[in-house]
Amino acid sequence: MKAVTILVIDDDEAVRQTLLDILELNGYETLSASNGQAGFELAQARKPSLIITDISMPGLGGLELLTRLRTDLELRDIPVIVISAKTDRAATRRGMDLGAADYITKPFTEEEILHSIGTRLANKELLDELDAFAHTVAHDLRNPLCALKGQLYLAATEEGPDAPRLVQEHLSEANQITDTLASILDELLILAGVRRQIVCFEQIDTAGVVAEAISRLETLLKDSHATIRQPETWPVAFGHAPWVVHIWVNYIGNALKYAGPNVDILLGSGPGEDPRRVRFWVQDRGPGLDAAACQRLFVPFTRISTVRVKGHGLGLSIVRRIAEKLGGAVGVESELGKGSRFWFELPAAQPGSDGPHTVF
């Protein structure tokens, strides 16, 4: 996943360095500039996730910088936190009117800074998902609905000796389209539920979860004549079983759809990059993905059209959301012509941690 990069703009070197230290100690990547003009140019070049800026700076000040950011189509959606010694209400109002996401006065505390950053990034992520959701509703639902309407119209207007056969063909197509619509709506509901639902976080029977996922893909398995190989035993991990089943269904289902003829799928597990996690993976021998496609795969509603010509871009976004809410991570290892390994990580079982607890 793309790292969170924060641009700090302040002409006071001591304040700027303090902010950079706070951010770097808390895992953020940083950029810095000592004035508004340099900060704007750096924002154009690097597209940071968030900007922290002072108000009073020589040359291009913070308010003028906000104006430029909000009129730049590529930068206008970046959250901006204003930090200033000015405490008058007019300055605060002016900053907010220009699109500042928050306004913090000096002196500030580390807790204030981190809380504001976390809130702004969460809001930005939600807005991005809402935009992507609107795109899906407008395009991905519209297309099958138009196709469904067309098939039903043809079925209703067929005439002649071949009409019964043609009507049945149209109705069969219409039925397949309704399955597609139902799948899209189900995944939209899952995506919304993962954000809001409170679940019980407990030890998972991985073998049982994998078996359930494979059973849900029975028809696709038969149609693809696929071979699925898996280990005799699985490590113990923690999570929410119904959500983890969904991850396996998505990963295995994608391998079945996109791995080409003579599908051979290998399931496996191993230690995660973090020793407190266990990694599970699905490996195929399909056409593989280039580095650029791998970077975009888990972005909400993204479809890699050159390789994955079916689907509606929701599945991998849901997988990422589930894994992160359960304290894990997702990723893919792939090369063109050499297949793909899609993986996810969950918290590993630790001594004395076999009891369930709640995840919000």
Place of tokens 């919000």: 360
| Residue 284 near residue 258 (C-beta atoms within 8 A) | yes
CB atoms within 10 A of CB 34: 17
Task: HSE, CB side, 13 Å, CA atoms: give it for residue 5.
Answer: 12
CATH number of 198-359: 3.30.565.10
CATH number among 3.90.870.10, 3.30.420.40, 3.40.50.2300, 3.40.50.300, domain 5-128: 3.40.50.2300
Residues linked to residue 330 through DSSP beta bridges, in sequence order: 344
d(CA 272, CA 276): 7
| Residue 353 near residue 202 (C-beta atoms within 8 A) | no
d(CA 186, CA 178): 12
pLDDT tens digits, residue range 176-234?
A: 888 778 777 777 777 666 766 667 778 999 999 999 999 989 888 888 888 899 999 99
**Closest to 70 measured CA to CA, from 99, 44, 47, 91:** 99
Q: What is the pLDDT of residue 317?
A: 79
pLDDT tens digits, residue range 312-349?
A: 456 787 888 889 888 899 999 988 888 899 999 999 97
The model carries a pTM of: 0.59
Give the helix/strand (H/E) hosting 3: none
How sure is the predictor about 310, in pLDDT bands with cuts at 50, 70 and 90?
Answer: very low
d(CA 282, CA 269): 9
How sure is the predictor about 125, in pLDDT bands with cuts at 50, 70 and 90?
Answer: confident
| Residue 82 near residue 102 (C-beta atoms within 8 A) | yes
- What DSSP letter does each residue of 282-335 carry, written as one string? EEE-S----HHHHHHTTSTT---TTT--SS-S-HHHHHHHHHHHTT-EEEEEE-
Q: Which residues of 138-147 are buried (b: 16+ CB within 10 A; e: fewer)?
A: eebbeebeeb
Q: Which residue has the higher pLDDT, 148 or 357?
A: 148
Which stretches within the chain are classed as H helix? 13-25, 36-46, 62-70, 89-97, 110-135, 142-157, 163-196, 206-216, 218-224, 241-258, 291-296, 315-325
**Residue 353: partners with Cβ closer than 8 Å, 6 or more residues away:** 238
CB atoms within 10 A of CB 27: 8
Which range (6-20, 205-219, 286-300) has the least confidence?
Answer: 286-300
d(CA 238, CA 209): 12
Residue 112, both tokens: 């204030």
Using alpha carbons, list the distances in angstroms from residue 52 to 39, 93, 113, 337.
10, 17, 10, 43
Distance of CA 26 to the CA centre of its chain: 22
Residue 230, both tokens: 């898996």
Q: What is the pLDDT of residue 307?
A: 39
